[in-house]
Amino acid sequence: NLPTVAIIGRPNVGKSTLFNRLVGKRLALVDDMPGVTRDRREGDASLLGLDFRIVDTAGFEEEDPESLPGRMRAQTEAAVAGADVALFMIDARAGVVPLDAEIARWLRSGATPVVLVANKAEGRAAEAGLIEAYELGFGEPVQMSAEHGEGLADLFQELLPHL
């Protein structure tokens, strides 16, 4: 019975890229088009010797449960509610956008602990977004680059107390 981490965040921030890196198999579909991950995908992840179940989520835009995006949102909400910790990912280059703030509000209303991750933090383009990230109310973000494999030790440190 492995502990579970659910990755949540708006489309295109790099959730599936991190999922793929931690699972080590290309289970999740990664694409430049926002919203390409249609289903919740799960895999067994390993991070510096820490083993856990990881869930990649998609969709948080639409509340109507009768619609496809609404069902995706319901899946995302269920995945987070059932997880030991939510890994809330934003794009450090883009900064905080309204959907990030909406997700943050929803996460604060729930009981699942949250680790905030600012992805795409390689290079200097990320600096402005990192400052904005504090506004989300989850403290200092873990800076990482899922694509380049940077920041994994910091991610490990933040996840460890919850797993």
- Bind-site residues: 9-16, 56-60, 119-122
**Site stretch for Mg ion (CB under 5 A), options 30-38, 42-50, 62-70, 89-97:** 30-38
**Closest CB to Mg ion among residues 11, 129:** 11
Q: Which residues inside 32-71 make contact with ligand GDP, applying CB under 6 A?
A: 32, 37
Task: Provide the token pair at 52.
Answer: 């856990």
Binding residues for Mg ion, how many (CB under 5 A)? 3
Judged by CB under 6 A, the residue of 42, 62, 132, 147 near ligand GDP is: 147
Chain centroid offset of residue 35 CA: 13
Binding site listing for GTP: 9-16, 56-60, 119-122
Task: List b or e across 7-22, with b for residues whose CB sees 16 or more CB atoms inside 10 angstroms.
Answer: bbbbbbbbbbbbbbbb
Lookup result for tokens 């949540």: 8
> CA dist 37 to 16, 61, 76, Å?
8, 13, 11
Helix, strand, coil % in the chain, rounded to nearest 5: 35, 20, 40
Residue 12 binding target from Mg ion, ligand GDP, none, CB below 5 to 8 Å by type:
ligand GDP
Query: What is the contact mask toward ligand GDP in residues 75 to 114, using x (rule: CB under 6 A)?
Result: ----------------------------------------
Cα 126 to Cα 32: distance, rounded to the nearest angstrom: 19
Judged by CB under 5 A, the residue of 20, 37, 57, 76 near Mg ion is: 37
CB of 5 to Mg ion, least distance (A): 15
Lookup result for tokens 């940077």: 150
Three-class secondary structure of residue 101 per DSSP? helix
Residues in touch with Mg ion (CB under 5 A) = 15-16, 37
Residues in touch with ligand GDP (CB under 6 A) = 9, 11-17, 30-32, 37, 119-120, 122, 145-148
